[in-house]
Every structure is written in structure tokens, then in C-alpha cells.
């Protein structure tokens, strides 16, 4: 039996596989834009399990699988047995007997690992506390569309060393680019949590302005991720100097792009004139979730 391929962390796919997905995403996006039908996943069912809120992830997976000829089923913790303590291993056994592919958004990475270990079908990480690999697929695809290959480029990550940041760091190792990270004291990257091979591909900076210098892409995320709401007020104080504003964008390379996975808080992690400004590609970035995830599902199911 061929081993099932999951996408639980960015480095679950090899560099060649990642590049294949970017190339397929370009083709699939072209078909979609030309209103051409492409139904390789006819009769396939995607189950989407959400233990946290979502707009983009749900929409892009549900629309994406339908556009490939398949169908999607949405489950959440509130109105399924998942919220009533059914073991994740049992849920995985049952759900994977009735579907062809599963996407999960949950809390600890360990939960999705346990699900995948008991699943008969591919499992995709739609965000955990530790990682958000589909987001970074879309972000890098967006970078490539605007600026060409990301190899050798520099990404500045300003703010929290969260799931999105960890995934950027993994991606830097896989695709050979650099990340400048600036976090407030006490919120530093934990290389072990980010599951990195080494520290060749990232550099940390105390001052976010220094991290922005030389960057081809400046990116950030909310100061308080889902699941950490109790820390919100403290974080607002701690992160006050880690806002991406026009001055910070000027410190980056002239043609630097700005990205944000969204949802954004204007006036907190990003100034309105940056996210709504000419260097921002956040709407392309959001749309590209659809195209890269279609390529990802196609790859995991059809090779």
C-alpha cells in the first residue's frame, strides 16, 4: 500500500513537491480565470473540521473542492461529538472511512498528528497553535506571482512568533530564503516549537526597523492569535512598538511587498496606510489560498 501523504507542517512536502504545487496552482488558477471546467476530484468528499473560527480557510477549501468537482462537509466542535469528548483517534477512524480527504483547524499540533495517525485518507492542517502551512503556500505563491522565485530573498516577520511565523521559518529552510524576525522581548521564536533543522535561514533583531532593512517582503499577523485571547490586554502593551507602518516599509527594499494572512487589526500590527497602500498584496494573498489549496488537494489525492 502506498503511504498516505498528509500536510501537517510545511516540511511534510519536499522542495520538489512544493514547486510542483506552485506550478499546478498557476495552471489551475488560469483554468479558473478562463471559466474552464476542471473536475479531477469528481465524487471525492472533503471533510472540514473547525475547532476555531474561520472565514478564508473554510471558504477557500469549500469553494476549492467544489470547483474541482468534489463536495465538502463542514463539522465544528459545537455541534458534533468532537466537542463532547469523543477521542480524536476514534473520530479519525470514522471520518476517514466516509471521506477522501480531511482538513482540520484545531488547537495543539498534537491533536492533528493523532488524527492523521488514525486516518485512512490525507489530512491537511488548516491552522494549529503551532503552524499554518496552507497560509504560507499561498503567501509564497503570491510572492512568486509578483516578484519571481523566492530563493535568496529576504522576508521580514514583525510581531508575534506564532503559527504563521513558525511556518515562514520552515518554508525558508525548504525553499532557501531568509527570514528577519523581530518580536518583543518574551515572545521570541522557539526553534524547537517551529521544528527547524538549524538557524541558517533566520536572523533575529531586537529593533523591528532593523529587521525591515533589506527585506523584499514585510509581513505580520495579529498580536493575539486565536486561543490566546486571555493575554490580549498584556499583548497590546507589549507589542505597541511592533506595528508595520509607512516608516518601516521605507526601511525595507524599495519594491518590497506587504502581506498579512488576515484578519487584520488596522492601528495595531499594521497601519491602515500600509495594508491599504500600494505595496500591499493582501487581497491577492487571500485569493491565492483558493488556488494553492486546489493544487494541494489535487496532489495529495492524485499525485
Catalytic positions, written as ranges? 105, 132, 135, 221, 261, 289
Identified binder of ligand CP from the candidate list 11, 57, 178, 183, rule CB under 6 A: 57
178 binds ligand NVA (CB under 6 A): no
What does the block give as the cell for 95?
471520518
- First CA to last CA across the chain, in angstroms? 14
Q: Which of residues 252-291 bind ligand CP (CB under 6 A)?
A: 261-262
By beta carbon distance, the residue nearest ligand NVA is 225
Distance of alpha carbon 87 from alpha carbon 27, whole angstroms = 40
Residue 55 makes contact with ligand CP by CB under 6 A: yes
String marking each residue 102-141 x if it binds ligand NVA according to CB under 6 A: -------------------------x--------------
Which residues touch 266 (CB under 8 Å, ≥6 apart)?
A: 272, 275, 276
* Contact present, 61 and 48 (Cβ < 8 Å): yes
Q: Which helix (H) or strand (E) holds 50?
A: strand 45-50
Give the integer Cα–Cα distance in Å for 127 and 276. Answer: 25
Stretch of residues binding ligand CP (CB under 6 A), selected from 49-57, 78-86, 155-163, 275-283: 49-57
Q: Rule CB under 6 A: choose which of 51, 130, 221, 298 binds ligand NVA.
A: 221
Residue among 70 and 133 whose Cβ is closer to ligand CP: 133
Which own/partner contact pairs does 202-206 have at CB distance under 8 Å and 24+ positions apart? 202/169, 202/172, 202/178, 203/178, 203/179, 204/180, 205/180, 205/181, 206/182
Residue 195 found at the interface with ligand NVA (CB under 6 A): no
CA distance 55 to 234: 26
Q: Determine the angle formed by the axes of helices 15-33 and 163-175, rounding to 10 degrees.
A: 110
Stretch that binds ligand NVA, among 20-28, 162-170, 202-210, 211-219 (CB under 6 A): 162-170
Nearer to ligand NVA, 124 or 261 (CB): 261
Q: Are 255 and 147 in contact (CB under 8 A)?
A: yes
Q: Rule CB under 6 A: choose which of 119, 135, 162, 219 binds ligand CP.
A: 135
Work out whether 229 is an interface residue with ligand CP (CB under 6 A): no
Residue 248 CB, nearest distance to ligand NVA (Å)?
Answer: 20
- 284 burial via Cβ count (<10 Å: 0-12, 13-18, 19+): middle
Partner from ligand CP, ligand NVA, none contacting 119, C-beta within 5 to 8 A by type: none
**Contact footprint for ligand CP (CB under 6 A):** 54-57, 127, 135, 261-262
Amino acid at each position: 500500500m502506498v503511504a498516505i501523504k498528509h500536510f501537517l507542517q510545511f516540511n511534510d512536502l519536499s522542495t520538489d513537491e512544493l514547486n510542483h504545487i506552485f506550478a499546478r496552482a498557476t495552471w489551475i488558477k488560469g483554468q479558473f480565470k478562463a471559466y474552464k471546467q476542471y473536475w479531477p476530484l469528481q465524487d471525492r468528499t472533503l471533510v472540514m473540521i473547525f475547532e476555531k473560527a474561520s472565514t478564508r480557510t473554510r471558504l477557500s477549501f469549500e469553494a476549492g473542492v467544489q470547483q474541482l468537482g468534489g463536495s465538502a462537509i463542514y463539522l465544528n466542535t459545537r455541534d458534533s461529538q468532537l466537542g463532547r469528548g469523543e477521542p480524536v483517534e476514534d473520530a479519525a477512524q470514522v471520518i476517514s472511512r466516509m471521506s477522501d480527504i480531511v482538513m482540520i483547524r484545531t488547537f495543539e499540533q498534537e491533536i492533528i498528528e493523532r488524527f492523521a495517525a488514525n486516518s485512512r485518507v490525507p489530512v491537511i492542517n488548516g491552522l494549529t497553535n503551532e503552524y499554518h502551512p496552507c497560509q504560507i503556500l499561498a503567501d509564497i505563491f503570491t510572492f512568486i506571482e509578483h516578484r519571481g522565485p523566492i530563493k535568496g530573498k529576504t522576508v521580514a516577520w514583525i510581531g508575534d512568533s506564532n503559527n504563521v511565523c513558525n511556518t515562514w521559518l520552515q518554508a525558508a529552510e525548504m525553499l532557501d530564503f531568509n527570514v528577519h524576525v523581530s518580536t518583543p522581548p518574551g515572545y521570541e521564536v522557539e526553534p524547537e516549537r517551529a521544528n527547524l533543522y538549524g538557524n541558517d535561514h533566520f536572523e533575529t533583531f531586537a529593533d523591528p526597523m532593523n529587521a525591515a532593512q533589506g527585506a523584499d517582503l514585510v509581513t505580520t499577523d495579529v498580536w493575539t492569535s486565536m486561543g490566546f485571547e486571555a493575554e490580549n490586554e498584556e499583548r497590546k502593551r507589549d507589542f505597541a512598538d511592533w506595528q508595520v507602518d509607512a516608516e518601516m516599509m521605507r526601511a525595507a527594499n524599495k519594491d518590497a511587498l506587504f502581506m498579512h494572512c488576515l484578519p487584520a487589526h488596522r492601528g495595531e500590527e499594521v497601519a491602515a496606510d500600509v495594508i491599504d497602500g500600494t505595496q500591499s498584496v493582501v487581497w491577492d494573498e487571500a485569493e491565492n489560498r483558493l488556488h494553492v489549496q486546489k493544487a494541494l488537494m489535487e496532489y495529495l489525492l492524485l499525485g
